[in-house]
Amino acid sequence: MLSVENLSAWYGQARALNEVSLDVAAGEVVTIVGRNGAGKSTLLRSIMGLHPKTTGTVSLDGKPVDRLAPHQRTRRGLGYVPDDRGMYASLTVQEHLLLPRAVGPNPWPLERVYETFPNLADRRGSAGTRLSGGEQQMLAIARVLRMGARLLLCDEPTEGLSPLFVARIGEILREVKEAGVTVLLIEQNVHFAATVADRHYLLAEGRVVDRLDNDQVRSREHELLDYLGI
């Protein structure tokens, strides 16, 4: 469904991604692991069309989207959960949920969002930036579900969350996968990654250096955690 070929990205003269190639098939959950500064967020931003300086090709369903603006890419089914959770200070929780444009075949109705995330229902009148970290993450995910995106790009959704919220995010990702949605997930928590994902890419200094399946991740967990500096 998603295919990235020889993607490079720069910040000024500094190269953050170096000829990255990867594929994600429809219905898969794939994670990207890598140290801080490896280029993971830059990769998602580039796929979304939010990074100004890139070369290489990003295709969705076999069609290149390189020339498309971010909002046009959403029409092809992309949904983005940014690493800073993308909260607006000037929008209430409910407005966060009303803002995104429905693009996919199955946009979640508001009632379903509130049933699935009762916390958000309780806080529907609060500004997005006033929520707790976990609630913000729920809202960021709920927001792309409202769009009915077919491919979710999630940038470290579990970062800094309590185990309770991490477990909740795991449930949601599995539920979303059940519904046939594809997910490309950035995750430092390799233990968690092995419980939700089908396979993994290891990114280092802007390059894909390894591909792992869940068994490999489990058997190399200590080595990986060591490498990631956790």
Residues that bind other proteins (CB under 8 A): 48-50, 52, 69-71, 74-75, 80, 82, 84, 86, 88-91, 95, 98-103, 129, 143, 147
The answer to whether the CB of 140 falls within 8 A of the CB of 86 is: yes
The Cβ-side half-sphere exposure at 165, using a 13 Å CA radius, reads: 17
Question: Rounded CA gap, 161 and 124, in Å?
Answer: 21
Let me know: does 187 contact 31? Beta carbons within 8 Å. Answer: yes
Interaction partner, residue 47 (ligand ATP, Mg ion, other proteins, none; CB < 5-8 Å by kind)? none
Query: Which residue's CB is nearer to Mg ion, number 97 or number 202?
Result: 202
Q: Shortest Cβ distance from residue 38 to Mg ion (Å)?
A: 8
Q: In this structure, what token pair is assigned to residue 148?
A: 């009915």
| Interacting partner of 147 out of ligand ATP, other proteins, Mg ion, none (Cβ under 5 to 8 A depending on kind) | other proteins
42 binds, among Mg ion, other proteins, ligand ATP, none (CB under 5 to 8 A by kind): ligand ATP
Cα 208 to Cα 21, 91, 138, 200, distances in angstroms = 7, 38, 29, 10
Residue 98: CB minimum distance to other proteins, A? 6
